Amino acid sequence: MPLLRADGVSHRFGPREVLRGLSFEVGRGEIFGFLGPNGAGKTTAFQVLCGLTAPTGGRLELGGQPVRPGDRRLRTRMGVVFQSLSLDLKLTARENLLLGAALYRIGRPDARARARELLELTELTDRADEPVQRFSGGMRRRLEIARALIHRPEILVMDEPTAGLDEVAFQRTWTRLIELRERTQLTILLTTHRPEEAERCDRLAVLQGGRIVACESPDALRRRVSGDVIVIDADDADALARALGAKLGLAARVEAPARLTLEHERGHELIPRIVEAFAPGRIRSLGLRRPSLGDAFVKLTGHLLAEDEA
């Protein structure tokens, strides 16, 4: 039985349909991601899950029992990490954790022990008694995650949890989350637009225009892109794409004014033909790579996941 099940969850703001019937199941201990660019409905899906927005249609089930979104039972078993700040900056890290624990009626000795443990886990022990306003962005995010875990939730719901983290902090955060999942069977739901974060999920729901257009593992998604991806940088990508079509019958996708990509079963064989077909200078550089989740996303939706990852 899935731990959490959504059936036809929809939401509209006035005439605008933001979620168009989301249906999905998440098993215990699973890491489940909503992947999509800004405006795909990820944040609304997050808000519905943690009870901040009442959906205009659809239903949720928790452990096989129907549950109203935002129901106390659901809130008690859920930890939530927001994209924006949800800490009190004037208070210390420890005070934030202890107040968070008190909201879930965790007894004082247990709360203290739990706060110590989470400060240790997030490497904030040295700064535990400093006001959070002196913390860097990365430290605040770590504390947000610690705060969301203070009451040992079964489900952790996170909205773009690693936004603004550098590479090292990103890796560490995910190593810890995956460890925690192994140890406690924690179920994690998150929204993301970062392909490298989506890679950490067991399954991904690809969102476009408020709909789930695919729901499968990162590997399965990548397999939708056949073979290799050839990336070509050129001064005029549009003109080159037309020429590739005319001369070699290839369908290239322009990703940026100076970049296009081609999907091909046997990319290495195609590269010499492309190079020979064009006068020197037409192509600035040319590369071959394995398909990424970003490529799979483009293939599925016809859109880039994020402009900066083109």
Partner 1 sequence: MSALLEDLATVRVLWVRDLLRFLRQPSRIVGALGQPIIFWLVLGSGMASTFRMQGAEQLGYMEYFYPGVIVMVVLFASIFATVSVIEDKSAGFLQTVLVAPGSRAALVLGKSLGAATVALLQAAVFLLLAPWAGFRLGALDWPLLALALIATSLGLTAFGFALAWWLDNIQAYHAIQMTLLVPLWVLSGAMFPASDRHPLFAAIMRANPLTYATAAIRHALYGGVAPIAAPPAGTSLLILLGFCLLCLAVASVLCYRKRT
Binding site for partner 1 (CB under 8 A): 47, 50-53, 72, 75-76, 78, 80, 82, 84-88, 90-91, 95-96, 99-100, 102-105, 131, 147
Distance in Å, CB of 136 to partner 1, minimum: 17
Query: What's the rounded Cα separation, in Å, for the pair 233 and 235?
Result: 7
Task: For residues 141 and 166, give the distance between their C-alpha atoms in angstroms, rounded to a whole number.
Answer: 11
What does the alpha-carbon distance between residue 194 and residue 173 come to, in Å, rounded to a whole number? 14
The smaller minimum CB distance to partner 1, of residues 88 and 202, is found at 88
The enclosing H or E element of 155 equals: strand 155-159
Please state the closest distance from residue 54 (CB atom) to partner 1, in A: 8
309 contacts 216 by C-beta, under 8 angstroms:
no
**By C-beta, is 96 or 292 nearer to partner 1?**
96
Q: Which is nearer to partner 1, 85 or 251 (CB)?
A: 85
Residue type, 223: R
The CB-of-279 to partner 1 minimum distance in angstroms stands at 54
The closest of 34, 19, 74, 48 to 160, measured between CA atoms, is 34
Closest by CA position to 156, among listed 303, 4, 310, 302: 4
Least distance (Å) between residue 9 CB and partner 1: 16
Question: Is-contact 149 114, C-beta < 8 A?
Answer: no
What is the smallest separation between the CB atom of 207 and partner 1, expressed in angstroms?
Answer: 21
Q: Where are the alpha helices (DSSP H) in the chain?
A: 42-49, 72-77, 93-103, 108-121, 137-149, 167-184, 195-198, 218-223, 237-248, 267-277, 293-301
C-alpha distances in angstroms, 195 versus 24, 256, 309? 21, 18, 9
Q: How far is the CB of 170 from partner 1 (least distance, A)?
A: 22
Nearer CB in complex with partner 1: 29/70: 70
- Considering the complex, state which of residue 111 and residue 214 has its C-beta at the smaller distance from partner 1: 111
**Closer residue to partner 1 (CB): 104 or 278:** 104
For residue 262, the minimal CB distance to partner 1 (Å) is 43
Straight-line distance from the first to the last Cα atom of the chain, in angstroms, rounded to the nearest whole number: 39
Nearer to partner 1, 38 or 76 (CB): 76
